[in-house]
Amino acid sequence: MKTQMLAALAAIALASPALAAGDAAKGEKTFMRCKACHSITGADGKAIVRGGKVGPNLFGVVGRKAASAEGFNYGAGIKEAAEKGLVWNQEEIAEYVQDPTKFLQKYTGDDKAHSKMTYRLSKGGEDVAAYLATFSK
């Protein structure tokens, strides 16, 4: 009985997505660095986090197809990733913010792909991704 219980718990743990790795509260603080370029504006047009317009609005980014926010001029690298099916999830956002160009090269298989996002977040990407997940549509 004990062995079966442990096996069941292990199976549940392995089947669960690794989304809980980030801390949304920490991510909110870390996002203050991101708002120089990005805002979070709700579907109703209300600013949740006022920020720059250099990058796309990040409201609903988790679960959204890459390069699909209306009104933003995306670069070729992210458009290529979108054509290959990239839909943002927390893990991919966390990896992307560490090194956007490296992420796009890996995802697309194109060593010439690059990102227009030059900022790198050396740590806290999981937290930012968890924070952004709180603004899902």
Task: Give the architecture-level CATH label for domain 2-133.
Answer: Orthogonal Bundle (1.10)
CA distance 63 to 93: 11
pLDDT value of residue 9: 38
Banded pLDDT at 107 (limits 50, 70, 90): very high
pLDDT value of residue 120: 96
CA distance 5 to 55: 48
Q: Is residue 14 scored above 60 in pLDDT?
A: no
Candidates 114, 43, 46; CA nearest to 78 is 114
Q: What is the pLDDT of residues 21-64, one digit of tens each?
A: 899 999 999 999 999 999 999 999 999 999 999 999 999 999 99
Cβ neighbours, 10 Å, residue 62: 21
pLDDT value of residue 32: 96
Q: Is residue 7 scored above 50 in pLDDT?
A: no
Q: How much is the average pLDDT of 107-135?
A: 97
Q: Is residue 74 scored above 90 in pLDDT?
A: yes
pLDDT value of residue 136: 83
Residue spans of the domains in the chain: they are: 2-133
Cβ neighbours, 10 Å, residue 71: 7
Q: What percent of the chain has pLDDT over 90?
A: 82
